Amino acid sequence: MATSYLIDGYNLIHALGMIERQVGPGGLEESRRRLIGFLAKALGAGAQATIVFDANHAPRNLPRQQTQHGLLIEFAPPHQSADDRIETLIDESTNPAELVLVSNDHRLQVAARRRGAQAWSHDELLDFLGQRRVKPVATPEPGAEKANALSAEELERWMQEFGHLQNDPELKEFFDMDRFE
């Protein structure tokens, strides 16, 4: 089952702090670029995601729909907000069970859940992305063996399970620690 993400662009930009309070010339474009780059990297290649922005901030000379880094970028049509466009996309979804809306907007979350889609807050998205990161394998530091030692309960459980083997005549030589001295 392929998950498709529907993301409230400016809502997420503000939540992630990717925009200044006083936006200067080119500020919105830079914020959008940063968000798109972040999502492309975080979601990974082949992710199906649509990021919707309000049209009154659309870049000049660019189409309303475009693909950047494998993500579909959409600017809401004239006289329609991004929220309205997102709600339309939710309603038009042919498989809402595979749709994940990312927005803190309560109205959009209700619309998504009503259609059987998931609705994630920004925090839930970040939690999900954090879980997807591959954790590097740490090399043990000196003395780490002690930290990995069995607890008394674990030792007792292992002894109950395998303790009888030390009296097995066929395995006796493996338990004879004196032979290593």
Listing DSSP states for 74-142 in one string gives EEPPTT--HHHHHHHHHHH-S-GGGEEEE---HHHHHHHHHTT-EEE-HHHHHHHHHHHSPPPPPPPPT
**Using CB atoms within 10 A of its CB, is residue 118 exposed (0-12), middle (13-18) or buried (19+)?**
middle
Which token pair is 96? 């809402």
How does pLDDT run across 52-91, given as a tens digit for each residue? 998 766 677 778 899 999 999 999 988 889 999 999 999 9
Q: pTM of the full predicted structure?
A: 0.68
Return the DSSP state at 170.
Answer: T
Tell whether the model's pLDDT for residue 38 goes beyond 70. Answer: yes
* pLDDT per residue as tens digits for the range 145-180: 555 566 777 767 767 766 666 666 655 554 454 544
Q: Can you give the pLDDT at residue 153?
A: 76
- CA angle, corner 21, sides to 16 and 26, nearest 5? 90
- CA-CA distance, 38 to 149, in Å (whole number)? 40
User: Helix 106-114 crosses helix 82-92 at what angle (to 10 degrees)?
Assistant: 10
Pairing of strands 4-8, 48-53: parallel
Closest CA relative to residue 39, chosen from 76, 12, 1 = 12
User: What pLDDT sits at residue 39?
Assistant: 93
Which of 20, 55, 48 lies closest to 34 in space, CA to CA?
20
Task: Give 10: exposed, middle or buried? Use CB within 10 Å, 0-12, 13-18, 19+.
Answer: buried
Pick the CATH number of 4-132 from 3.40.50, 2.60.40, 3.10.450, 1.10.3470: 3.40.50
C-alpha R_g of the chain = 27
Domain layout of the chain by residue ranges: 4-132, 150-180
- Of the two residues 154 and 44, the one the predictor is more confident about is 44
